[in-house]
Amino acid sequence: MSLRLTARGLSVGHPGQPVLRGVELDVAPGEVLTVLGPSGCGKSTLLRALAGLLRPTGGELLADGRPLTGPGADRALVFQEDGLLPWRTVRRNVELPLAIAGLKRAERRAPVADWLGRVGLDDHGERLPRELSGGQRQRVQLARALAGAPRAVLMDEPFGALDPQTRAAMQQLLLAVWQKERCTVVFVTHDVDEALLLGDRVAVLSGGTLAALHEVPAPRDPSADRSALRALLLAQYT
Amino acid sequence: MTARRRLLRAAALLGFLGLWQALTAWKVQAWVRFDHLPTVLEVADALKVQLGTAVYWQDLADSLRRISTGFALAALLGVTAGVLTARSRTAADLIGPVLELVRPIPAIALVPVAIMLFPENEQGIVFITCAAAFFPVTVATRHAVRAVPPRWEEAVRTMGGGTGRVLFGVVLPGALPGVVGGLSVGLGVSWICVISAEMVSGQYGVGYRTWSAYTVLDYPGVFVGMATIGLLGWATSGAVELLGRRLTRWLPAPAPAGVRA
């Protein structure tokens, strides 16, 4: 059920001044691709293009081999912060993709309760986003993104605004969720360790082009030694 | 509200009335002259008499009906125009210039237009009341819609939400705090204009009654009218504020007094 996402010679931005130039990427179904790069390298632009929110100015974007025509429920987007609708309670945020899909109120209740439980927020359903901590809000975003059963999840530095401890907990939560769902994940970060911890492959973006693409040895195996790739990434990244 | 604040507010009102009573009862003349103005007690007596008449309540009902019709229309049209001009470049190009051209004209200057346009006075007054509130609501809505963070809309669109969902599920609730501000301002202008229009062209209504009291030199009657307008305006804007606060409870609470530096 997971989605294959393909970029062929993808350029995005103003024709004279593209943010992304000639990006070639093929994200296999069920793969976790982490995208690494400094601010302004075009990471967020790549993600928005994959989400269908930005139209390519050159090349093409494919989902399962078919051209992407716009945003859709098959590709969920998770933002760094403030992605929740502040006037909706936690529960009503999480049920949003289900409501949009046309599920009746009674049909939404069970999956929403399930997702709130899986992200550890069972008793926070009636709170407003502003009453939660930053980490809790990202848990809600994760639950909301996955409640709609998307085939791919696009994450834009989702843990970038969190303190190191919360961040580590969220990474473990994401891995636990992904182990069950096995949806395709494109995860943008500027943290080399995070990219190595989560990804099957790491793409390095630099100045709007794809600078390198690395396979992660023994992906998500906590005992694996990735120091060689880490050193290489740190060198390429800076 | 704390007891202390209630007390302060009541004391401020009583102080204002006391000052007025003192100035008028002693007929103070110091460049401005208070000797012709009715005292608070005279006005209170006149009010007591008027409260017992059917005409007073008829006037009140007339004015309230005019303002609620005009204001409701203005809210509907203003929010629509504001959303359209903020969200669609074509709409902004089509109705923007006309709006900007008509906006500086005071609504009360539309009285001749209203008289020519509408078969009855009643509709003309509602039209003027509506025109008065329309622009503050439109402008506030336009700004508020433009200020809605794009990621809320992006989130909903990536969940498969269409135009209707974005409009009613993101744009309108997201812009609501700004719209409430526009409604508040609009209601104030509406009161000014409904009273003025009644004075110029009305039959019945608080404005009409106030002006006709003046023409027969019934000064306490004039002040009864003014006090009525003040109370009605206060009550209705309080209702709008309350409704606004109810609907925007999700906004961050303001820092409690004393915490701010």
Look at A73 and B154 and tell me if their CB atoms are within 8 Å: no
Residues in chain B with CB shorter than 8 Å from the CB of A183 are: none
pLDDT range class, residue B255, cuts 50, 70, 90? low
Q: Is residue B68 part of a domain?
A: yes
Q: Do A82 and B158 touch (CB under 8 A)?
A: no
Question: What residues in B contact A93, CB-CB < 8 Å?
Answer: none
Output the pLDDT for position A96. Answer: 95
Tell me: pLDDT of B258 over 60.
no
DSSP bridge partners of B242: none
- Can you state the angle between helices A134-147 and A105-118, rounded to 10 degrees? 130
As a whole number of angstroms, the distance between CA A27 and CA A35 comes to 11
Instruction: Select the more confidently predicted residue: B202 or B6.
Output: B6
pLDDT at B180 over 60: yes
- Please name each of the domains of chain A with its CATH number: 1-74+153-238 (3.40.50.300), 85-149 (no CATH)
- Nearest CA distance, B250 vs chain A (angstrom): 5
User: Which tens digit of pLDDT belongs to each residue from B34-82?
Assistant: 988 999 999 999 999 999 999 999 999 999 999 999 999 999 999 999 9
Nearest in space to B84 (alpha carbons), one of B127, B138, B130, B132? B138
Q: Which residues pair with A67 in a beta bridge?
A: A62
In this prediction, residue B129 carries a pLDDT of: 94
**Touching check for B254 and chain A: CB below 8 Å?**
no
CB-CB neighbors (< 8 A) of A48 in chain B: 154
The three state secondary structure string of B27-62 is: CCEECEECCCCCCHHHHHHHHHHHHCCHHHHHHHHH
Helices (H) and strands (E) in chain B, counts: 11, 2
Domain count, chain B: 1
**Cα distance between residue B191 and residue A89, in whole Å:** 37
DSSP secondary structure letters along A28-64 = PTT-EEEEE--TTSSHHHHHHHHHTSS--SEEEEEET
Confidence of residue B23 (pLDDT cuts 50, 70, 90): very high
Q: How is residue B8 written in tokens? A: 């302060």
| Chain A residues near residue B166 by CB distance under 8 angstroms | none
Q: Cα B57 to the chain's mean position, in Å?
A: 20
In a domain, B261, yes or no: no
Query: Is the pLDDT confidence value at B240 over 70?
Result: yes
Q: Give which of A70, A226, A36, A77 is closest to B151, Cα–Cα.
A: A77
Burial B12-21 (b: 16+ CB within 10 A, else e): eeeeeeeebb
Per-state percent for chain A, helix, strand, coil, to nearest 5: 35, 25, 35
List the single residue in A51, A71, A82 with the smallest CB-CB distance to B149.
A82
What is the arithmetic mean of pLDDT over B123-149? 95
Distance CA B160, CA B149 (A): 18
Strands A17-27 and A5-14: antiparallel
DSSP state of A124: G
Residue to test with chain B: of A48, A87, A91, A96, most B Cβ within 10 A: A87
Supply the mean pLDDT for chain B. Answer: 92
| Number of Cβ atoms within 10 Å of the Cβ of B41 | 13
Q: How far apart are CA B113 and CA B123, in angstroms?
A: 12
Q: Is A116 exposed, middle or buried (0-12, 13-18, 19+ CB in 10 A)?
A: buried
| Mean pLDDT of the region B83-95 | 94
Lookup result for tokens 């390519």: A56
Write the CB contacts of A143 (distance below 8 Å, at least 6 apart in sequence). A94, A115, A116, A118, A119, A121
CA pair distance B226, A204, nearest whole angstrom: 72
Going by C-beta distance under 8 Å and a sequence separation of 6 or more, which residues neighbour residue A117? none
Phi and psi torsions of A3, nearest 5°: -100, 140
> In 3-state terms, what secondary structure has residue B102?
helix
Asked if the structure places residue B23 within a domain, the reply is: no
State how far the Cα of A151 lies from the Cα of A97, in Å rounded to an integer. 13
Q: Which domain holds residue B147?
A: 35-247
pLDDT at B36: 87
Q: Is B255 on the interface with A (CB under 8 A)?
A: no
- A209 vs A134: CA distance, rounded Å: 32
Put simply, the answer to whether A96 touches B157 (Cβ < 8 Å) is no
**Predicted confidence (pLDDT) at residue B244 exceeds the cutoff of 80:** yes
Q: Does any domain span residue B48?
A: yes
Sort out which chain B residues have CB atoms less than 8 A from A70's CB and list them. 157
Instruction: Provide the shortest C-alpha distance from residue A87 to chain B (in Å).
Output: 5
Sorting pLDDT into bands at 50, 70 and 90, what band is B259? low
Segments of chain A scoring below 70 in pLDDT: 238
Of the pLDDT bands very low, low, confident and very high (cuts 50, 70, 90), residue B256 is low
CB contact under 8 A, B160 and A53: no
- Residue B202 reports pLDDT greater than 90: no
Out of A76, A82, A87, name the one closest to residue B151 (CB): A82
Report the pLDDT value the prediction gives residue A238, as an integer from 0 to 100: 66
H/E element, A213 = strand A209-215
Nearest Cα residue to A215 out of A206, A204, A205: A204
For the domain that residue B200 is a member of, what is the CATH number? 1.10.3720.10
